[in-house]
Amino acid sequence: MQSYPAPALARVEQLAAQAAADPARAVSFQGAPGCNGHRAALEWAPACLPLPCFSFEDALEAVKDGRAGHAIIPIENSQHGRVADIHFLLPESDLRIVGEHFMPIHHALMALGDGPFSAAYSHPQALGQSRFFLRERGMVPLSYADTAGAAAYVAELGDPKVAAIAPKIAAELYGLKVIAENVEDAADNMTRFVVLAREGRDPASLGAGPMMTTFVFEVKNVPAALYKAMGGFATNGVNMTKLESYQKGASFSATTFYADIVGAPGDPAVDRALEELAFHCKELRMLGTYPQERARG
**What's the chain's average pLDDT?**
93
**Whether 204 contacts 266, CB under 8 Å:** yes
What pLDDT sits at residue 4?
92
Q: Is residue 116 reached through a cis peptide bond, with omega within 30 degrees of 0 on the bond before it?
A: yes
Instruction: Identify the structural domains of the chain with CATH numbers, from first to last.
Output: 7-105+190-197 (3.40.190.10), 108-181 (3.40.190.10), 203-291 (3.30.70.260)
Q: What is the pLDDT of residues 85-144, one digit of tens each?
A: 777 788 888 999 999 999 999 999 999 999 999 999 999 999 999 999 999 999 999 999
Contact 264, 203 (CB under 8 A): yes
In residues, how long is the chain?
A: 297
Question: Percentage of the chain with pLDDT > 90?
Answer: 83
| Residue 255 burial (C-beta neighbours within 10 Å; 0-12, 13-18, 19+) | middle
Q: What is the pTM of this model?
A: 0.92
pLDDT of the residue at 249: 67
Q: Which of 56, 193, 233, 257 is catalytic?
A: 193
Q: With a cut of 80, say whether residue 172 has pLDDT above it.
A: yes
Our answer to whether residue 252 is catalytic in this structure is: no
- Please pick, among 29, 56, 147, 191, the residue that the annotation labels catalytic: 191
Lowest mean pLDDT among 80-89, 103-112, 234-243: 80-89
**Residue 182: left if φ>0, alpha if ψ -120 to 50, beta else—which one?**
left
User: Are the C-beta atoms of 26 and 57 separated by less than 8 Å?
Assistant: no
193 labelled catalytic: yes
Confidence of residue 1 (pLDDT cuts 50, 70, 90): very low
Handedness of CA 35, 37, 40, 42 (dihedral sign): negative
Distance CA 99, CA 243 (A): 18
